Amino acid sequence: MSAPLTPRQALQRRAQALDAAAQGVPDAIRIAAVADLPTRFGDFCIVAFHDPLDTSGREHVALVHGLVEGVQDVPVRLHSECLTGDALGSLRCDCRDQLEAALRLLSSGPCGALLYLRQEGRGIGLANKIKAYALQDTGLDTVDANLRLGFRDDERSYTTAARMLRALGVGSVRVLTNNPNKIKQLQDNGVIVSGRLPHALPPTAHNRDYLRTKQHRSGHLLDVPDDEP
Ligand SMILES: [Zn+2]
């Protein structure tokens, strides 16, 4: 009997199968590259994709722990890029805390995947997000600041995320989220969602109002206490 495939070997085999299936299918999403990625939060493989239908030019990646192809109930987190939070440690939002908690949780089980989606500032881009911060500094909340700039509250799309999950070949997913819209968009794009895993972290003095706005104005399933701790 041959040795079982490592997660990296399984993903490389999946990439080859997608390449073969994509012959004559110009719109097909492909896996562009796979490598091991040990992190301070746990062991992952990093997977880069090429999606001809995503014309944004953004390079999205998946961090995959364990074997996910054909597996049911794979825990999945869709994380949208937040340069100020994820990389620079901003306390204006909870993005980095959510990212770190998700990576720790996903790597602690048999399998899981985090999609790191390059849609900064809820899809409005970095400079516009900073403009929105400037408006928030004058008293607007995060929703009204986006509206003032001519954007919707949330411009993010999870169409490419759904195609990435289908490219990985997951059987069904349990989505780590407080945002019902993420689940709906995945289902609308052909992903079988078998459940939701709540992903709420304790608020801090800096992000309490931001989290309250998410809860009361953006439909997130949060329970931020109204009183200061
Ligand atoms: Zn953020």
User: Is 36 annotated in the active site?
Assistant: no
Q: Which residue has the tokens 């516009």?
A: 128
Q: Which CATH class is domain 7-119+156-217?
A: alpha beta
> Per-residue pLDDT tens for 188-218?
999 999 999 887 777 777 777 777 777 777 7
Q: Is 32 helix (H, G, I), strand (E, B) or coil?
A: strand
Phi-psi region of 190 (alpha: psi -120 to 50; beta: other; left: phi over 0): left
Q: How long, in residues, is the chain?
A: 229
Per residue in 3-17, pLDDT (tens digit) is: 889 999 999 999 999
Instruction: Name the residue ranges covered by the structural domains of the chain.
Output: 7-119+156-217
Encode pLDDT of 25-79 as tens digits. Answer: 989 999 999 999 999 999 999 999 999 988 888 899 999 999 999 999 999 999 9
pLDDT of residue 229: 43
- Alpha carbon distances (Å) from 69 to 29, 59, 73, 139: 16, 22, 11, 47
Say what the pTM is: 0.89
Q: How far is the CA of 106 from the centre of ligand 1 (A)?
A: 20
Assess whether 40 carries a catalytic annotation. no
User: Pick from 110, 114, 109: which is nearest to 45 by CA?
Assistant: 114
